[in-house]
């Protein structure tokens, strides 16, 4: 739509026909005011920019408010000078008394207040614009006025204040419309004749400069802002208006009119325009003079463009920005070179914060469009990285993209990122996510924290303070449905709440680094490819139907999610931390109530978790814990005997990525057989073994394709990650005098147990001690079985 052309007609054409102008004197001629209002409502449209010819040989225009027409029917007055603040009152004619006056025709008597009376009235108005009857009576006695005179003065003063606000708002709308027209003309001119900034010749669309690309994105993103301006004008006119244009305006200029404090003298009084509850999405009923989030959203756009530029450069630049370290076997960011190349887009690093940075490239079995859609959908993003994202949500959508795609999409998000250990607090981040298509089959998605632009409140103090510098991925399509993904992670955080056992792991960029994101993405995409395949992988039990496989995988997904929530104490569940004196220092014990949840048994749930370092490789530890034949060496639920795998569903090419159903054999007549649902997964970032005892009849329904949401379970299990540089591992000698560091693993052990089936029951110390002993006993059995007691 041509905004400039639609607003150039001062009368008759386009949207002309009526004008919002600032000045509206109160006319004592009610008939003239009524005719003027009728002329406004019968006009064919609204012009927000052009001055209408004067009406009745006056230089004043017409300004219609929400209650203007009603106020004309109730009262009128002559305003000779605005500074009198409603000092001229019609004595005895207002409100209900006017009806009596109509029955008794008499000449209207005007009463003009003295300067002292006006001063007293203004002083009270500053403190209380709506005095009650007692205050009016006291003021009338002190000023020798009638109470209704005081009442009418306050009514007129409030009406005058509202008129001043409407004048100012109308002035802003006119300025806004002028800028809309100029901006639209410049955008159309730039899009009609694109110029290459390097050579000065004609440019193709793919070679548009950053400024022109900025205009294109801004034009699409702020269209909704223009619709809100139209809605505001509709409120003033009392009838709906269509959208004025497809382009949008830059932030409103600063206003010299002080509203609430200053020239109007309303110290501490916040003045707003009363709007109905149906005014636009995301706008409160109490609307400030400046359109909500207008300036802030422009700042978000600038931040998104700067973050995207930094991400692309960091993903494509090698040395000297990224230096390959032979010692750790990965790339390390050169912070000096980084400081030289980039200006901090979210401010300088806070004092005491550490920086972690990593980059990883990998090939995954997913195309760029599907991956971009997954990353821009908070629910699908969490499902793609279940062990890394505890909880996430989209808090606001700045732009949904252009041309039906995600190109140019900007949204604000909140996420809780986790490392599966009770010794590492959850990272809570509020960030902006920006998606952009750079070429055919090449996309980039960047995240950057918005804490410097928008203050967040209500964040639990247990969470680590964390700032997400420009991070994300660049995705490029490859043949056969694969994509090449280059992932960059760059974070600043406070390590004061992190246990010393995990500090080297996080500072090296391994704990939350790019390698972990790419490994998890590759494993999850491989799993989805297998599930969508019509062929059954080798090793799967063919007796399970396709619907039964889906039900079992859905149940296992819920089990693993609840396990992670219990380890990291995220806000998925409401946990209460217990401080018990006889519990080990590194064991965290929490409790919660399970009520009206069909996926869990009702009652008091106790969760206990701890992390230890073991001088065993992650692969060996993972193979030992997932092997059902060796389960009796550490699991008390196995009844001391071997377990048998009765169902197996592969989730990847690696045999360790699977969902299994295990059955324990009764060793004597007093024991009963039971089923255990187990999910195991492993990648370069770590491994997981999660299990839960399940009811036999319920699992029969699930394996037949029934709903798994009603299967009650409480998960337990293990999380294994490789220890990073600076780990507590000892050095050993090979007999020739050569020593080397022993690689080890960081093992997290976690249990969730139902200690009482009554949600209202009290937790006993014996229950806590039992769970603590269970964890200690399990860790000791694992050490003994792997011969690493020392």
Phi, psi of 730 (to 5 degrees): -80, 170
Query: Is 51 part of any domain?
Result: no
Query: Is 67 part of any domain?
Result: no
Residue 726 scores a pLDDT above 80: no
Query: Is 438 part of any domain?
Result: yes
> Which residues on adjacent β-strands are paired with residue 287?
273
The reply to whether 491 and 604 lie within a common domain is: no
User: Which two three-digit tokens encode residue 508?
Assistant: 């090296």
- DSSP of 280-345: STT--SEE-SSPTTHHHHHHHHHHHHHHHHHHHHHHH--TTTEEEETTTTEEEE-HHHHHHH---T
- Which of 530, 555, 585 is the C-terminal boundary of a domain? 530
The reply to whether 590 and 663 lie within a common domain is: yes
Query: Is 206 part of any domain?
Result: no
Highest mean pLDDT among 561-575, 615-629, 727-741: 615-629
Phi, psi of 590 (to 5 degrees): -135, 160
Helices (H) and strands (E) in the chain, counts: 19, 25
Name the band, by pLDDT with cuts 50, 70 and 90, for residue 721. Answer: very high
Residue-wise pLDDT for 213-269, tens only, equals: 677 777 776 776 676 666 655 554 445 554 443 333 333 333 332 222 233 333 333
The reply to whether 514 and 538 lie within a common domain is: no
The reply to whether 548 and 526 lie within a common domain is: no
Q: What is the rounded distance in angstroms from the CA atom of residue 511 to the CA atom of residue 423?
A: 12
> What is the reported pLDDT for 200?
64
The reply to whether 501 and 553 lie within a common domain is: no
Q: What is the rounded distance in angstroms from the CA atom of residue 247 to the CA atom of residue 241?
A: 16
Residue 104 scores a pLDDT above 60: no
Q: What whole-number percentage of the chain has pLDDT above 90?
A: 25
Name the band, by pLDDT with cuts 50, 70 and 90, for residue 1. Answer: very low
Q: What whole-number percentage of the chain has pLDDT above 70?
A: 67
The reply to whether 497 and 358 lie within a common domain is: yes
CATH number at residue 514: 3.30.530.20
- Which of 510, 530, 550 is the C-terminal boundary of a domain? 530
The reply to whether 375 and 436 lie within a common domain is: yes
CB contact set of 196 (below 8 Å; sequence gap of 6+): 202, 203, 207
The reply to whether 436 and 542 lie within a common domain is: no
Of 525, 279, 473, 444, nearest to 359 by C-alpha is 473
Query: Is 700 part of any domain?
Result: yes
The reply to whether 426 and 526 lie within a common domain is: yes
Q: What is the model's pTM?
A: 0.61
User: Which two three-digit tokens encode residue 309?
Assistant: 């530029």
Query: Is 506 part of any domain?
Result: yes
Query: Is 185 part of any domain?
Result: no
CB 654 within 8 A of CB 671: no
| Cα distances (Å, whole numbers) of residue 732 to 726, 728, 738, 747, 787 | 16, 13, 8, 21, 16
- Which of 496, 530, 564 is the C-terminal boundary of a domain? 530
Query: Is 614 part of any domain?
Result: yes
Name the band, by pLDDT with cuts 50, 70 and 90, for residue 109. Answer: low
> What is the reported pLDDT for 736?
44
Residue 113 scores a pLDDT above 90: no
CB 161 within 8 A of CB 264: yes
Domain with 700, as residue range(s), is 533-727+742-786
The reply to whether 515 and 550 lie within a common domain is: no
The reply to whether 506 and 540 lie within a common domain is: no
Residue-wise pLDDT for 292-322, tens only, equals: 356 677 788 889 999 999 999 999 998 899 9
Q: What is the rounded distance in angstroms from the CA atom of residue 152 to the CA atom of residue 143?
A: 14
Residue-wise pLDDT for 172-205, tens only, equals: 898 888 888 888 888 887 777 766 666 666 665 5
Q: How many domains does the chain have?
A: 2
The reply to whether 577 and 692 lie within a common domain is: yes
């Amino acid at each position: 739509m041509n905004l400039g052309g639609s607003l150039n007609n001062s009368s008759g054409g386009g949207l002309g026909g009526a004008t919002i102008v600032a000045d509206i004197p109160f006319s004592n001629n009610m008939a003239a005011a009524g005719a003027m209002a009728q002329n406004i409502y019968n006009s064919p449209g609204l012009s927000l920019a052009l001055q209408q010819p004067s009406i009745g040989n006056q230089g004043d225009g017409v300004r219609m408010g929400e209650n203007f027409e009603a106020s004309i029917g109730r009262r009128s007055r002559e305003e000779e000078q605005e500074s009198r603040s409603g000092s001229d009152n019609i004595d005895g004619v207002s409100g209900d008394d006017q009806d009596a006056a109509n029955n008794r025709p008499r000449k209207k008597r005007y009463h003009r207040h003295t300067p002292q009376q006006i001063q007293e009235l203004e002083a009270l108005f500053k403190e209380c614009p709506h005095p009650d009857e007692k205050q009016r009576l006291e003021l009338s006695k002190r000023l020798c006025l009638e109470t209704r005179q005081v009442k009418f003065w306050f009514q007129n003063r409030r009406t005058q204040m509202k008129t001043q606000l409407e004048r100012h708002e109308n002035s802003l709308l006119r300025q806004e419309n002028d800028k809309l027209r100029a901006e639209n003309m410049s955008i159309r001119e730039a899009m009609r004749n694109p110029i290459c900034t390097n050579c000065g010749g004609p440019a193709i669309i793919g070679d548009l400069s950053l400024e022109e690309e900025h205009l294109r994105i801004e034009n699409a993103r702020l269209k909704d802002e223009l619709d809100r301006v139209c809605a505001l004008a509709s409120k003033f006119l009392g009838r709906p208006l269509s959208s004025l244009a497809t382009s949008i305006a830059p932030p409103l200029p600063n206003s010299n009119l002080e509203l609430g404090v200053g020239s109007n003298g309303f110290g501490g009084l916040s003045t707003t325009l009363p709007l109905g509850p149906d005014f636009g999405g995301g706008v409160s009923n109490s609307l400030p003079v400046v359109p909500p989030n207008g300036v802030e959203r422009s700042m978000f756009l600038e931040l998104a463009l700067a973050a995207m530029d930094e991400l692309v450069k960091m993903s494509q630049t090698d040395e000297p920005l990224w230096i390959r370290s032979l010692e750790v076997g990965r790339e390390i960011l050169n912070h000096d070179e980084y400081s030289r190349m980039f200006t901090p887009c979210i401010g300088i690093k806070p004092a005491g914060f550490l920086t972690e940075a990593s980059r990883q490239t990998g090939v995954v079995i997913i195309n760029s469009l599907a991956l971009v859609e997954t990353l821009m959908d908070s629910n699908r993003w969490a499902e793609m990285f279940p062990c890394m994202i505890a909880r996430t949500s989209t808090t606001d959508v700045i732009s949904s993209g252009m041309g039906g795609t995600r190109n140019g999409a900007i949204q604000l998000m909140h996420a809780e990122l986790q490392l599966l250990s009770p010794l590492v607090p959850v990272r809570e981040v509020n960030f902006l996510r920006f998606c952009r298509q750079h070429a055919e089959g090449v996309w980039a998605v960047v995240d950057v924290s918005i804490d410097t632009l928008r203050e967040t409140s209500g964040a639990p103090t247990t969470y680590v303070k964390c700032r997400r510098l420009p991070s994300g991925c660049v995705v490029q399509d490859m043949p056969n449905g694969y994509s090449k993904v280059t992932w960059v992670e760059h974070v600043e955080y406070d390590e004061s709440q992190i246990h010393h056992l995990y500090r080297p792991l996080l500072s090296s960029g391994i704990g939350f680094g790019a390698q972990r994101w790419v490994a998890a993405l590759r494993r999850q995409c491989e799993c989805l490819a297998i599930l969508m395949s019509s062929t059954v992988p080798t090793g799967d039990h063919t007796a399970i139907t396709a619907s039964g496989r889906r039900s079992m995988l859905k149940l296992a997904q819920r089990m693993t999610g609840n396990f992670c929530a219990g380890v990291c104490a995220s806000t998925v569940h409401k946990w209460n931390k217990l401080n018990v004196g006889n519990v080990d220092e590194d064991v965290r014990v929490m409790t919660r109530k399970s009520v009206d949840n069909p996926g869990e048994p009702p009652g008091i749930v106790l969760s206990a978790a701890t992390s230890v370092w073991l001088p065993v490789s992650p692969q060996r530890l993972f193979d030992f814990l997932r092997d059902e034949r060796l389960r009796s060496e550490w699991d008390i639920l196995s009844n001391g005997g071997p377990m048998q795998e009765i169902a197996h569903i592969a989730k990847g090419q690696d045999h360790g990525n699977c969902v299994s159903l295990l059955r324990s054999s009764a060793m004597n007549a007093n024991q009963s057989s039971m089923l255990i649902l187990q999910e195991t997964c492993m990648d370069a970032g770590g491994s997981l073994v999660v299990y839960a005892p399940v009811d036999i009849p319920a699992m029969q329904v699930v394996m037949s394709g029934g709903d798994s949401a009603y299967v009650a379970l409480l998960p337990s299990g293990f999380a294994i990650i490789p220890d990073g540089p600076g780990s507590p591992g000892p050095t050993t000698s090979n007999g020739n005098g050569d020593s080397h560091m022993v690689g080890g693993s960081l093992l997290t052990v976690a249990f969730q147990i139902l200690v009482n089936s009554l949600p209202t029951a009290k937790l006993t110390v014996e229950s806590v001690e039992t769970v603590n002993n269970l964890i200690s006993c399990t860790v000791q059995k694992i050490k003994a079985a792997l011969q690493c007691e020392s």
